[in-house]
Structure 1
Amino acid sequence: MTTRTVTLAAPDGYDFRRTVGVLCCGRSDPTTRLGRANLWKAVRTPDGPGTVHIGHREGTLSVAAWGDGAGWLLDRADALTGLRDDPAGFLPLARQDPVVAVLADAMPGIRLARTERVFEELLRAVLAQKVTTVEATRSYAGLVRRFGDPAPGPVDLLVPPAARTVAAAPYWAFHPLGIERRRADTLRRLGTVADRLERTVDGPPAEACRLMMTLPGVGPWTAAEVSAVAFGDPDAVSVGDYHVPHQVAYALAGEPRGTDARMLELLAPFRGHRARVVRLITHGSIREPRRAPRAPIRSFARF
C-alpha cells in the first residue's frame, strides 16, 4: 500500500460526494464503492490493475492505493476528485441567468472529475445507448463480473475488463448479460483500438471526440458522455440524450419539452462551461413534467 495526502485549497467550497458521484455506475457497480465522504475504486491503469481509496476529512483528502497501478492512481488522485478542474470564468456566465445563478450559489463545490481511462468510460457509455439507466447499470455490472479481474487491496472489488479481453470475446458471451449484438460488436471493435484511444488523454477533448466518432457505433452522445468523465470536459453536451434536452428546456425556459437544437440554443451563453450547467440542473433535481409512463425494463438476455 502507498499513500498520499492532498490539502484542499478551498476546503469549505468542495463537494466531494457530488463531484465523485459520476465515477459510480449505479449501486451495483462492482468496481466502485461510494460513501458520503469516501470512495473506493478499482481501475485498470496503464501500469496494471490498481485500487484507490480516497477519504475526505477536514480540508484534506487521504489517498491510499494498492496494486501495480498504485503509483499511477496516487499521481492522479487530484484529477479523479476534480481538483484539477478550473471553474474560473463560470460564475460571471452563471450570473447571466437567474436559474443558473441560484444553482451555482447553492452548489458551489461541484468539480468535474477526470478518470483519464477512455476505454473504461466507453464501456459504460456504449452500454447506456438506447436503453434505460437500470438496464445499462445492470449490463455493466454483469460485464465486469464476467470479464473483469479481482482488484488488489483489502476490499472486494473487480477491475474493469481489459480491452483485449472484450475484443476477443464472442458475441454470444454478451447476450446473457442483456447486451444485444449491435452494442456487443461496438464494444468488441473498440477493444481493438483501445490503445489508440487511450493516447488521446493528453490532447484536447474535442480532438478525442472527433476520433471516437470516426468509429462505428460511437456518435455525438457517446463521445460527449466519455469526454465529460474521462477528460473532465467542462463543455461536453450529450446531444441525443432522452432526458437532458427536456430538463434544460424546462429549467432555463420553463418549457416542458425540448429538442437538441433548443437545448444547444439555451446553453449557448455558457459555451465553455455547458457541462457545468447540465450538471447543476441534474443535481438540482429539476425535472420536466412527465407525459407518459416510464419505459418498461427489458432484458435482451431473454430475447
Structure 2
Amino acid sequence: MTLTADAGAAQAAGSDAAQETVYRPRHDLDLGRTVGVLRRGGTDPTTVIDGRVIWRAVRTPLGAATLALRVAGDEVRATAWGAGAAEALDRVPDLCGARDDADGFDASGHPLIAEVARRNPGIRLTRTDEVFDALAGSILEQKVTAMQAFGAWRFLVSRFGEPAPGPTPRPLFAPPAASVWRTIPSWSWHRAAVEPPQSKTLVRAAARGDSIERAMRTAATGADRDRVLTSLPGIGVWTSAETRIRALGDPDAVSVGDFHLAHEVGYVLTGSRTDDDGMLELLAPWAGHRQRVIRLIYASGVKEPRRGPRLAPENHRDR
C-alpha cells in the first residue's frame, strides 16, 4: 500500500484549494462495487457516481469535505476540497478496502460463489469509520421501502447537512452531526415522511452520538458491536448490522430481518427462498465472512423473480 499527499502545501494554499493523493492498492480493486455500495439511492445528497468518478461529501472534525475517487491503471487518484480535505484523503485506503482481511475465506463450498469470486477479485469491503452517519441512515431505513428511506435521507441531509465544497457534479451535502439531528423540528420529520418511531429512535441515539462512536471503535468483535448498538432503544440486529457493514467493513455482519435478503440468499444458494433461520444455516459454513458471501451473491446477478406489486407507501404529509 502506498499513500502520498503533500497536505501541508495544500493546507497553506487554503481550504478551497484541491488536495490530491494517489493510492496504490496491493490488491485487486473494483472501485464501483467497493465504494459504490455507500450510495443510498440515485439521488443521495452525499454520494454521486458520475461516470467513472465517485464523489462523496463527508463530515470531519475540521468541517465538510468533498472527495472524488477515480481509477487510473493500477492507481486510485483522489482529490479533496474543503477544511477537512486532508482527513478525507487519509480515509481513502480504508474506503478502498485496505483493511479488508479475506484470510480464511474459502469460496469453493458453492460452485456459484466460487465462480463469482473468481470473476470479481476486486470486490472489497469498504470502511468509512463514519459510525453515526451510517447509524442515522440505517434507522431511517427501518421497516419502510427503499424509496421511502432514500427520500427521507435526501430531504433531511439536504436541509440540515453542510454544503460540500468543490466542483461537484450536483450540490452535495455532508451528513448532519449528531448534535444537529437532535434539533430537527417535528414538522421536518413529518415532511420527510419519517414515522415517529424512527425519528424518536434517531433523536435518542443522537443524544449519545459521541459515546456510541467511542464504544463502537473500541468494541473488539461483531458481537460486542451488536451489544453496543442494540442496547439503544429502537435499534435491533438489522440496524446494527447495516451500520457495521458501512462504517466498519464488518466481513461477518448479516442483516437479519431484512425483507428481501433471506429470500435472495436462499434463491441463489439453493434455488428456492428461505427465512432468516434458513439463511443463517446456509451461510454458516462461511462464518467470519458471511457479509463477503452476501456481497458475492449480489454481484452474481441472479435474482429471484418478483412475485407481487411494490408497496405503495402511505402519504402522511398532507394531514
| TM-score of the pair, normalised by structure 2 | 0.89
CA offset at residue 278 of structure 1? 0.7
Match of 1:132 in 2: 145
* 2:236 corresponds to 1:236: no
Match of 1:262 in 2: 278
CA RMSD after TM alignment: 1.5
CA offset at residue 302 of structure 1? 3.7
Sequence identity percentage:
43
CA offset at residue 41 of structure 1? 0.6
Q: Secondary structure at the match of 1:51?
A: strand
User: Given the alignment, which residue of 95, 105, 117 partners 2:130?
Assistant: 117
Cα distance, 1:68–1:204 mapped onto 2, change above 3 Å: farther
User: Given the alignment, which residue of 287, 303, 319 partners 1:287?
Assistant: 303
Match of 2:294 in 1: 278
* 2:161 corresponds to 1:145: no
Match of 1:28 in 2: 43
**Partner Cα distance (1:74, 1:49) in 2:** 13
Question: Structure 2 counterpart of 1:169, which letter?
Answer: I
Q: Secondary structure at the match of 1:49?
A: strand
Cα distance, 1:108–1:171 mapped onto 2, change above 3 Å: same
CA offset at residue 265 of structure 1? 0.1
Q: Secondary structure at the match of 2:167?
A: coil
**Partner Cα distance (2:124, 2:189) in 1:** 35
| TM-score of the pair, normalised by structure 1 | 0.93
CA offset at residue 202 of structure 1? 4.7
- Would the aligned equivalents of 2:252 and 2:287 in 1 still touch at CA under 8 Å? yes
Question: Structure 2 counterpart of 1:57, which letter?
Answer: A
Match of 2:203 in 1: 188
- Would the aligned equivalents of 1:42 and 1:159 in 2 still touch at CA under 8 Å? yes
Match of 2:3 in 1: none
> 33-42 or 52-61, which moves further after superposition?
33-42
* 2:212 corresponds to 1:179: no
Match of 2:13 in 1: none
CA offset at residue 131 of structure 1? 0.9
The total of aligned residue pairs comes to 298
Question: Structure 2 counterpart of 1:108, which letter?
Answer: P
**Partner Cα distance (2:166, 2:56) in 1:** 10
**Partner Cα distance (1:68, 1:196) in 2:** 25
Structure 1: give runs of 5+ residues left out of the alignment: none
- Would the aligned equivalents of 1:171 and 1:181 in 2 still touch at CA under 8 Å? no
Deviations 1:6-51 (A, max 9, x none): 11324xx321111111111111111111134321111112332211
- Would the aligned equivalents of 2:135 and 2:243 in 1 still touch at CA under 8 Å? yes
**Partner Cα distance (1:102, 1:301) in 2:** 47
- Would the aligned equivalents of 1:205 and 1:231 in 2 still touch at CA under 8 Å? no
Q: Secondary structure at the match of 2:250?
A: coil
> 27-36 or 223-232, which moves further after superposition?
27-36
**Partner Cα distance (1:153, 1:47) in 2:** 16
Match of 1:79 in 2: 94
Q: Which runs of 4+ in 1 moved over 6 A?
A: none
Match of 1:4 in 2: 21
- Would the aligned equivalents of 1:16 and 1:37 in 2 still touch at CA under 8 Å? no
